[in-house]
Copies of this chain bind each other. A is one copy, B any other.
Amino acid sequence: MKFSESQAIYLQIAKIMEEKILRKEWKAEERIPSVRDLAVAMEVNPNTAVRAFEILQQKEIIYNKRGIGYFVSENAYSIVKKEWKKNFKEQELPEFFKNIVLLDFSMEEIDILYKQFNVNK
């Protein structure tokens, strides 16, 4: 898998994992892939994958059963959604609006592009 060079790989993996929870590909109380399996899937070293797991565990999005694996916590979805919403409103949205102005876009254009986006997905 190709990763962005401007951010640490384990942070990008953590984000991918959180998105799986948001998309309900990983549901509450379900077991998620093992550290080793995810490392293979992401084509990274197991130690790098571990760092992503540790972040999610620390935020109580996943938890561990000894000798078995990691599981999605009961409140995982709401925890992730709350954090992403906060980040979206406080970080991404102001940055997005700033760029619209700086780069001479209009909300009408954005609206048209959004409709195209919804058609093509």
Q: A residues touching B (Cβ–Cβ < 8 Å)?
A: 6-8, 11, 19, 22-23, 81, 84-85, 88, 92-94, 96-97, 99-103, 105, 107, 110-111, 113-114, 117-118
Q: How far is the CA of A103 from the CA of B97 in the complex (A)?
A: 18
Q: Which residues of B contact A6 (CB under 8 A)?
A: 7-8, 11
Distance between A85 CB and nearest chain B CB, rounded to angstroms: 5
Stoichiometry, as copies per complex, reads 2
On whether the beta carbons of A117 and B97 are closer than 8 Å, the reply is yes
Q: How far is the CA of A103 from the CA of B22 in the complex (A)?
A: 8
Contacts A23-B102, A84-B99, A107-B114 known; list 5 others, CB within 8 Å.
A22-B102, A81-B103, A85-B103, A97-B118, A100-B114
